[in-house]
Amino acid sequence: MHVTSPIPHKKARIEIIPLIDVMFFLLASFMMVSLSQVHMKGIKVNLPTGSSGETQSKREYISVSVDTNGNFFFDKEEVKRDEMQVRLAKVHQSAPEAKVFVRGDRDTVHGNIIQLLDMLRSAGFYKISFEIKSEALKGVPGAGR
């Protein structure tokens, strides 16, 4: 004799809608993390701060730096003034629309930055941005690197 239970018996189902929601959340999270990773090409300098600084994407760009002693750097590599001019001219020939990010130490002499700007202009670069630490991001770990 077969006795049925008074509790209705339901078949187990796998709901796919919550699974899709979780997968989209993970996809969006990984995309945001990968887009926020920035590869630093500049040397470590003591950047000045500014209240109106904003973050820009750094896809294809050139990083030139000047340290406290007036030494020039091209993507973390120290170069002499005449060699910097030659490198900038070569880069401009291969990528004339490249962005240039200038990193100047806060304690460097103003004339060193002007020399670097003069080299950039004579090489043909006119899209030049200065890297600063934003005061809005002050105190945030990892900001302004």
pLDDT tens-digit series, residues 116-135 = 889 888 888 888 888 877 66
Instruction: Look at residue 31 and tell me whether its pLDDT is greater than 60.
Output: yes
Kindly compute the dihedral angle of the four CA atoms of residues 88, 68, 105, 111, in this order, to the nearest 10 degrees: -60
pLDDT of residue 46: 65
Q: How confident is the prediction for the chain on average, in pLDDT? A: 78
pLDDT of residue 144: 46
Of the pLDDT bands very low, low, confident and very high (cuts 50, 70, 90), residue 115 is confident
Of the pLDDT bands very low, low, confident and very high (cuts 50, 70, 90), residue 33 is confident
In a domain, 73, yes or no: yes
State the total domains in the chain.
1
pLDDT of residue 142: 47
pLDDT of residue 25: 93
Q: CATH number, domain at 109?
A: 3.30.420.270
Q: How does DSSP classify residue 64?
A: E
Residues with Cβ < 8 Å from 37, sequence gap 6 or more? none
In a domain, 90, yes or no: yes
In a domain, 127, yes or no: yes
Straight-line distance from the first to the last Cα atom of the chain, in angstroms, rounded to the nearest whole number:
78
Does an H or E element contain 85, and which?
helix 81-94
Tell me the β-bridge partners of 62.
Answer: 100
In a domain, 108, yes or no: yes
Instruction: Look at residue 6 and tell me whether its pLDDT is greater than 70.
Output: yes
- Measured CA to CA, the distance from residue 141 to residue 55 in angstroms comes to 15
In a domain, 117, yes or no: yes
In a domain, 27, yes or no: no
pLDDT of residue 94: 86
Kindly compute the dihedral angle of the four CA atoms of residues 74, 79, 85, 91, in this order, to the nearest 10 degrees: -40
The whole model's pTM is what?
Answer: 0.53
Q: Which residue has the higher pLDDT, 23 or 7?
A: 23
Of the pLDDT bands very low, low, confident and very high (cuts 50, 70, 90), residue 108 is confident
Tell me the β-bridge partners of 74.
Answer: 64, 77
- Tell me which residue range forms the domain holding 77: 49-137
Instruction: Look at residue 84 and tell me whether its pLDDT is greater than 50.
Output: yes
Phi, psi of 74, rounded to the nearest 5 degrees: -115, 105
In a domain, 71, yes or no: yes
